[in-house]
């Protein structure tokens, strides 16, 4: 970089900074890196949430390669894109610490974060406090927005922006699947004593009131501790209560334990819709024949009719590239991790510079067609949030892999094609 362009850019950044008084000095310091765009990315690569981070290595690598060949053209100059990946180790405290390192030591221009509220929330809080724009995903919007002190029609955020679906979507999709399976009106609720289980099972704001409007009631034996080894108590109550539907948000080992014991003790609902445990193909494979037709929500699949705004790849091509490189079956986070970088590139391009304030302003009203669907931050249920479409799927025996996730229900987004009908278990 020439000394003169550096000085001009630094001067411009300083000017832009004077608009917002308090952090003007800090900002002109950190955007001294004109000519490069520094992206920080916090993700769980080890620990209990590691399956979520599994797609990262490939997606980040592919995106880096793309940016190396196609520098980002912003405000008349080409920016080199640098991606700093930090492992959150599946721990909230650790996530907050690495985020603050990225902000204070590495001086990133823009923060990206994904995978569950445990990781997205502390990172977003750090960014909000330090005045760094942050894009987050793969956490339902309620725990991200309400869980951080946001209020519908009230408090919102200046620096942090999120895209994903919400509980209302999963409620609608699951009920559509229940009706299509011809199940009865009683659902057994398998809710653990963790933030997800408590939110889903909440008698005022969770599933019970939402499904009651359609005549469903929930047999809720109560919250159980994650890691419980024996589920005969739940199974007995589901049998007693005539729960024709199984509903839950549990971790893979707990669901495997439950489902095997249910088969052994003779509980067989007509349909099962389970979040979290059934996200990744390895869990279904582990169930053997018991995995057939288990249902779950689908946020992204290779059959989604969307295209990357960055690389021009379709969802199918993105999944194929992942499989070609890793020899593994596609997983849902692939599309969302990729979309994080689409949003980042677009926000910086719209802002016209890497200036933090300008990027945050661009995010506030950003509209972009990504590989996970059309994102529109002006049309969200609350400010700071853009919703992505959600559909429902069932795991069926496949040809290339032991099980394939087949889209069977699309009441919210008919543009996503269904590949089969809902089948009872």
Partner 1 sequence: MTWVNAVVQGILLGGLYALFATGLSLMFGVMRIVNLAHGDLSVLAAFLAFALIDALPLNAFATLVLVVPAMAALGWLLQRFVLQRSLGAGQLAPLLVTFGLSVVLQNVLLEVFSPDSRALDIGGLGTAGLRLSGSVSVGWFGVLCLGIAIAVLVGLQLFLARTAFGRAMRATSDDQETVQLMGIDHRRVYATATAIAFATLAVAGVLFGMRTTFDPSIGPARLIFAFEAVIIGGLGSLWGTLAGGVVLGVAQTVGAQISPAYSILAGHLVFLAVLVLRPQGILRPAAAR
Q: Which residues bind partner 1 (CB under 8 A)?
A: 46-48, 50-51, 53-54, 90, 193, 221-225, 227-234, 236, 239, 252-254, 256-257, 260-261, 263-266, 280, 282-283, 285-288, 290
How near is the Cβ of 52 to partner 1 at its closest, in Å? 9
Look up residue 356 and give its two tokens.
Answer: 């933090």
Other beta carbons within 10 angstroms of residue 150's beta carbon come to 20
Nearer to partner 1, 70 or 264 (CB): 264
Residues in Cβ contact with 124 at an 8 Å cutoff, skipping those fewer than 6 apart: 113, 134, 136, 144, 148, 157, 160, 162
In terms of CB distance, is 145 or 255 closer to partner 1?
Answer: 255
CB of 379 to partner 1, least distance (A): 35
The backbone torsions φ and ψ at residue 404, rounded to the nearest 5 degrees and listed phi first, read: -120, 145
- Report the 10 Å Cβ neighbour count for 129: 13
Instruction: For partner 1, give the closer residue by CB, 203 or 288.
Output: 288
CB of 90 to partner 1, least distance (A): 7
User: In this structure, are residues 394 and 422 in contact, taking their beta carbons and an 8 Å threshold?
Assistant: yes
Q: Are 339 and 372 in contact (CB under 8 A)?
A: yes
Query: 48 or 104, CB closer to partner 1?
Result: 48
Q: Which of 347, 344, 326 is nearest to 336 (CA)?
A: 344
- Provide, rounded to whole angstroms, the least separation between the CB of residue 281 and partner 1: 8
For the chain, state the CA radius of gyration: 22
3-state helix, strand, coil in the chain (%, to 5): 40, 20, 40
Nearer to partner 1, 287 or 358 (CB): 287
Burial bucket for residue 296 (CB in 10 Å: 0-12, 13-18, 19+)? buried
Q: Of 1 and 236, which has the nearer Cβ to partner 1?
A: 236
Q: How far is the CB of 351 from partner 1 (least distance, A)?
A: 35
- What is the rounded distance in angstroms from the CA atom of residue 147 to the CA atom of residue 84? 27
Cβ proximity to partner 1, 328 vs 413, nearer residue: 328
The 10 Å Cβ neighbour count of residue 373 is 26
Q: In this complex, which beta carbon is closest to partner 1, that of residue 48 or of residue 180?
A: 48
The pairing of strands 72-74 and 77-87 is: antiparallel
Residue 270 Cα to chain centre, angstroms = 29
For residue 187, the minimal CB distance to partner 1 (Å) is 16
User: Least Å distance between CB 354 and partner 1?
Assistant: 33
Least spacing, CB of residue 331 vs partner 1, in Å:
10
């Amino acid at each position: 970089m020439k000394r003169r362009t550096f000085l001009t850019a630094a001067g411009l950044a300083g000017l832009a900074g004077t608009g917002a008084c308090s952090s003007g000095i800090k900002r002109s310091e950190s955007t001294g890196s004109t000519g490069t765009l520094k992206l920080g990315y916090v993700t769980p690569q080890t620990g209990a949430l590691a399956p979520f981070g599994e797609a990262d290595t490939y997606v980040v690598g592919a995106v880096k390669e793309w940016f190396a060949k196609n520098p980002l053209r912003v405000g008349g100059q080409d920016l080199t894109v640098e991606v700093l990946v930090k492992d959150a180790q599946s721990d909230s405290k650790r996530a907050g610490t690495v985020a603050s390192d990225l902000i204070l030591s590495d001086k990133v221009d823009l923060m990206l974060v994904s995978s569950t509220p445990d990781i997205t929330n502390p990172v977003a809080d750090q960014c909000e406090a330090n005045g760094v724009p942050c894009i987050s995903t793969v956490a339902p919007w309620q725990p991200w927005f309400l869980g951080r002190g946001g209020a519908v029609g009230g408090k919102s955020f200046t620096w942090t922006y999120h895209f994903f679906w919400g509980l209302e979507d999963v409620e609608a999709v699951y009920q559509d699947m229940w009706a299509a399976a011809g199940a009865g009106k009683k659902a057994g609720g398998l809710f653990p004593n963790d933030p997800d289980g408590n939110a889903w099972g909440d008698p005022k704001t969770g599933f019970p009131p939402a499904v009651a409007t359609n005549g469903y009631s929930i047999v809720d034996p109560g919250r159980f501790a994650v890691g419980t080894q024996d589920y005969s108590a739940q199974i007995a109550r589901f049998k007693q209560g005539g729960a024709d539907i199984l509903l839950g948000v549990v971790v893979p080992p707990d669901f495997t334990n439950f489902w095997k014991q249910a088969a052994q003790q003779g509980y067989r609902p007509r349909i099962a819709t389970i979040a979290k445990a059934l996200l990744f193909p390895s869990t279904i494979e582990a169930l053997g024949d018991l995995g057939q037709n288990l249902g779950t929500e689908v946020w992204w699949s290779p059959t989604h009719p969307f295209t990357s705004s960055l690389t021009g790849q379709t969802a199918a091509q993105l999944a194929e590239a992942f499989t070609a490189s890793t020899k593994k079956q596609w997983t849902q986070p692939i599309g969302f991790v990729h979309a994080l970088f689409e949003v980042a590139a677009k926000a910086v391009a719209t802002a016209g510079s890497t200036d933090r304030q300008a990027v945050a302003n661009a995010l506030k009203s950003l509209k972009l067609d990504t590989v996970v669907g059309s994102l529109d931050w002006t049309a969200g249920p609350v400010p700071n949030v853009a919703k992505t479409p959600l559909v429902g799927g069932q795991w069926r025996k496949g040809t290339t892999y032991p099980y394939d996730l087949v889209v069977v229900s699309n009441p919210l987004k008919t543009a996503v094609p269904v590949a089969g009908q809902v089948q009872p278990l």
